[in-house]
Amino acid sequence: MNYKFEGLDLLGEYFHGDLGDLGNVDAYSLRASYKINKFEPVIRYSHVEADDFDLDMDELIRRAPSGTDVLGSGANVGNEIDSFYLGVNYYYSPAVTFMAGYEMADAEDDAGNEAEVDGFRARVQVLW
């Protein structure tokens, strides 16, 4: 679902995956942004939850430590991850966008072990 009105952009996404013997995975993401001239503040919340297998935080959040390093248990991070992102986009031209923000993510497994990963993200989008 995507709703746009003037500079406001609201986006909601839902994902369900049936992985056979591994169980199911469900995820959703909610994002809001508001474009002011060439700047666009962005806020996003994401949630991923798996039934019978552990998720790798380093696969879902780039450059996060591996699950072994985070929990010290020799296991992946867990079966539930919540992520909160706050950032800003700058539209330099119709073909070039600069994006930067801070992401905070929490993971938990069935045993109650928790892990947190926070980090700054920056990227450049070039269309041709």
pLDDT at 69: 47
Note the pTM of the prediction, 2 decimals.
0.79
pLDDT at 63: 57
Query: What's the whole-number mean pLDDT along residues 98-106?
Result: 93
pLDDT at 112: 79
Q: Write out pLDDT tens, residues 49-94.
A: 888 766 766 655 665 655 444 444 444 566 888 999 999 999 999 9
| First-residue to last-residue Cα distance in the chain | 27
List, edge to edge, every strand of the sheet that includes 80-93. 2-5, 8-18, 24-34, 39-50, 80-93, 96-108, 114-126
